[in-house]
Amino acid sequence: MSVLPTIIQGGMGAGVSSWRLARAVSQLGQLGVVSGTALDLILARRLQDGDPGGHMRRGLDRFPNREMADRIWQTYYVPGGKPQRAPYKLLPTHSKNSPIELQELCVVANFVEVTLAREGHNNAVGINYLEKVQLPHLPSIYGAMLAGVGYVLMGAGVPLRIPGVLDRFANHEPATYLLQVTGADEGGDRTMVFAPKAFVVRDLPSLTRPTFIAIVSSNTLATTMLRKSDGKVDGLVIEGYTAGGHNAPPRGKLQLDERGEAIYGERDAVDLTKIRELGMPFWLAGGYGSHEKLTEALAAGAAGVQVGTAFAFCEESGLSQNHKRTLLAKVLAGTARVFTDPFASPTSFPFKVARLEGSLSEDEIYSSRPRVCDLGYLREAYRTPSGTIDYRCSAEPVTTYVSKGGRVEDTFGKKCLCNALMANIGHPQVRNGKYTEHPLITSGNELTEISRFLPVGSSTYTASDVVAKLMSGRYSRPLGSFSCDISHR
Ligand SMILES: Cc1cc2nc3c(=O)[nH]c(=O)nc-3n(C[C@H](O)[C@H](O)[C@H](O)COP(=O)(O)O)c2cc1C
């Protein structure tokens, strides 16, 4: 029997819920979660920035295959960091059969992030992936498991085949994953394969299967996850549409209000009675970052809450310090605004955006950006007329997208999240020594409330301030009394 966390610090990509944040939260006895999105790219850019503090080197030194870790170091490490106006090296983009060096980078980068998050304590650490970003799944998950990740949390899609992958990797067995390919028929070969033993040959540690938590936003999806998964689903996060990051689209036809935001209605509400009847632990997310909302969630039968926005702006988060400071100042001035953009994300899910001068939330900054797609995490796989698989992104140059069979109307308002999210965490690409990629900060609607975490007289707050505020006061039942037969470290 193991005690479940009351607070899950939500996975925040890319790099916002970094190893530092997850470690801080897990050290406090709650569940710290690193984002598993684009960790290969993040490791490569941290190394090109000179690995300040030597943390990546420390993580690499723990990897079971020394030669593989050294290859990565030699390829990307720049002593003292690259010159500010120099571009970062481009990685090969992911594909159904990604080059071996990219798969290695994924395994190692996920290993390093989880290893660092687990340093200095014995509590569980989780990793979060977006189901829609499928191409790096297998090597990423294996790398995180090699580092002893305790929880895998996944949403933004229907991750029915992830539990089976965890089962197989726990025994270092090969696993497969079916790639979603637009326009492909059932028979086509869409299977991605990853065989652990081909990668890490020596000293394979024995692994424990991580606890798997699916992030869902409807009763239907919750039930589907439990009935149709190919392995055990251990819990659910029920996420509402005020949450930061991507949101599930509203049910039915998309309707916009006068501000241009998607309208959600009664059909989007989740019936918690039915969730309780599923008989498994669940956490509520989306506007649950306060003591009152935590108490409400516990009273509704939840094991606790998943909180993102409050942690995104604390000192340990991976967001650039200047973005945190500027947005906190806006919160204090009462001028912070969050917009649910129905079009920005190439995934076609609504994406929450904090209004910030100098970022892609502003029209003139967006329209001055030349469309370039050179990172490719959000590309959609599609079947070409000749029957092969190719990739396209609705934020890439319009003519390229249309030449690949994409519809021109799908490109309107699309923003390159891949490059923006790297800029958010201080690794913006620089083009021709002149153009520097701009950020685009995502946040939940609760952004306007985060000043409540500031200690008196302070202009910043820590993960510990968030946890202390949420856990303060009395509960209707003792904390930590929730337990179940799932195992985690
Ligand atoms: C900056 C930011 C990035 C996020 N990125 C992800 C992500 O990559 N994957 C995911 O499942 N959820 C993501 N989320 C959602 C959080 O994990 C969490 O469920 C949500 O923030 C909870 O609602 P709250 O923002 O009202 O606290 C993100 C949230 C924020 C604020």
Residue 198: per-residue pLDDT: 81
Residue type, 90: L
| Ligand 1 contacts CB of residue 290 (under 6 A) | no
Could you give the count of Cα atoms lying within 13 Å of 325 in the half-sphere of its Cβ?
5
Residues in CB range of 156: below 8 A, 6 or more apart:
130, 131, 132, 133, 215, 246, 347, 349
Output the six-digit token pair for 107: 């395994």
Pairing of strands 211-216, 191-194: unpaired
Residue 484: per-residue pLDDT: 42
- Residue 481 and residue 349 in contact, taking contact as beta carbons nearer than 8 Å: no
Q: For the whole model, what pTM was predicted?
A: 0.95
Residue 456: per-residue pLDDT: 92
Q: What is the pLDDT along the chain (489 residues), one digit of tens a residue?
A: 468 999 999 999 999 999 999 999 999 999 999 999 999 999 999 999 999 999 999 999 999 999 999 999 999 999 999 999 999 999 999 999 999 999 999 999 999 999 999 999 999 999 999 999 999 999 999 999 999 999 999 998 899 999 999 999 999 999 999 999 999 877 668 999 999 988 776 778 899 999 999 999 999 999 999 999 999 999 999 999 999 999 999 988 888 999 999 889 888 999 999 999 999 999 999 999 999 999 999 999 999 999 999 999 999 999 999 999 999 999 999 999 999 999 999 998 999 999 999 999 999 999 999 999 999 999 999 999 998 999 999 999 999 999 999 999 999 999 999 999 999 999 999 999 889 999 999 999 999 999 999 999 999 999 999 999 999 854 433 344 344 444 433
Residues in CB range of 33: below 8 A, 6 or more apart:
8, 9, 10, 11, 17, 22, 25, 125, 126, 127, 128, 151, 153
The rounded Å distance from CA 13 to ligand 1 centre is: 8
The rounded Å distance from CA 388 to ligand 1 centre is: 35
The rounded Å distance from CA 223 to ligand 1 centre is: 22
Residue 185: per-residue pLDDT: 77
| Ligand 1 contacts CB of residue 439 (under 6 A) | no
Residue 365: per-residue pLDDT: 95
| Ligand 1 contacts CB of residue 307 (under 6 A) | yes
Output the six-digit token pair for 57: 């080197």
Select from 12, 284, 356 the residue to mutate for testing ligand 1; criterion: most ligand atoms less than 8 Å from CB: 12
